[in-house]
Structure 1
Amino acid sequence: MTLHTTHADLGAWQPEPASFDAVVAIYLHLPPALRAPVHRKLVQALRPGGLLILEAFHPDQLPLSSGGPKNVAMLYTLAMLRADFADMTELLAEETDAVLDEGSGHQGPAKVTRWIGQR
């Protein structure tokens, strides 16, 4: 198996339709004006049956010191993700507690949103 990655400015990125088997968006916190359009691009980039795997901080993360944006508009709820990915089949959806141990800026209790969907 070969893993191919893409490094791009997501605001300008125009992926080839149906060109990816999976898209993984881990702690990809985008401003509201960019979030929905980028999420649409991610879905369009997936082949039929392709998976989108996402984990991000939830708004309840704001008072916690384990990382993440301090702008509530950049934090994700399941309702938001379900709206952004309404055309996909939801395989996993949760707003849950986590304990981070990912370097000095991401230590301790956290509140995260996890979503996996299939095109």
Structure 2
Amino acid sequence: MWDQRYADKDYVYGTEPNDFLREYAGQIKGPVLSLAEGEGRNAVYLASLGLDVLGVDSSAVGLQKAQALATSKQLTIQTEVVDLADFMPASNLYGSVVSISAHLPSVIRHRLYPLIEQSLKPGGLLILEAYAEEQLERETGGPKDIDMLMSLEKIQTEWPTLTPVVLQEVTRNIVEGKFHTGEACVIQFIGQKPL
């Protein structure tokens, strides 16, 4: 499905970074792991700040576009085609992990999230924005499966060892290509791994 979606000649989620990521970019330390990176807009933005970035995604088509976007801006990013259902990130390596619209079934989250926590260095940050459960009724983006949508309670349950720096549910106008456009309800979370 993702290879088909990304086969569009246009960047279907745009080429500009996510607004929440941009707002807190000054706190992000490298190296950075970006989950479900897709066409590269967030990884390329972080690389423009001088950060080393690895973007992982299940779509080789999306990551080819990510590399093309980086090249067009004379930047370098690392990419790797992975299935997040069995992805094993390196432990104690990343200064930050970025999860922007990485909507996963709970069975995958429950396996992956503890590994993501282990992959962060002490003091490292997780930066996450995902559509909230309340988004289910809207037609402005996000999966149509409540299990894949987030809530404040899910964040607190699924990231129990990270100290919340930001944890909020907000309604905001999103303009990210043709699939994420309009007023939307999202969960925003920045969690810090204890030192």
Q: TM-score scaled to structure 1, two decimals?
A: 0.94
Q: State the alpha-carbon separation in 2 of the partners of residues 2 and 67 from structure 1.
A: 29
Aligned residue for 2:188?
114
Aligned residue for 1:33?
107
Q: State the alpha-carbon separation in 2 of the partners of residues 72 and 102 from structure 1.
A: 21
Aligned residue for 1:85?
159
Pairwise mapping of residues 37-116 of structure 1 onto structure 2 (< 5 A)?
37-116=111-190
Once superposed, what is the RMSD of the aligned Cα atoms? 1.1
SS of the residue aligned with 1:73?
helix
Aligned residue for 1:4?
53
Q: 2:95 aligns with which of 21, 34, 43?
A: 21
Per-residue CA shift, 1:35-89, capped at 9, x if unaligned?
Answer: 1211111111000000000000001101111110001111000110111111111
**Letter in structure 2 aligned against 1:90:** P
Aligned residue for 2:62?
none
**Letter in structure 2 aligned against 1:30:** L
Counting helix residues as a fraction of each chain, which structure ranks higher? 2
Q: Which has the higher contact order (CA 8 A, sep 6+)?
A: 1
Instruction: Give 1 or 2 for the bigger CA radius of gyration.
Output: 2
Q: State the alpha-carbon separation in 2 of the partners of residues 2 and 27 from structure 1.
A: 21
Report the Cα offset of residue 15 of structure 1: 1.6
Q: TM-score scaled to structure 2, two decimals?
A: 0.59
- Structure 2 gaps of 5+ residues are 1-49, 57-81
Report the Cα offset of residue 6 of structure 1: 4.1
Report the Cα offset of residue 4 of structure 1: 2.8
Q: How many residues are matched?
A: 119
SS of the residue aligned with 2:153?
helix
- Structure 1 gaps of 5+ residues are none
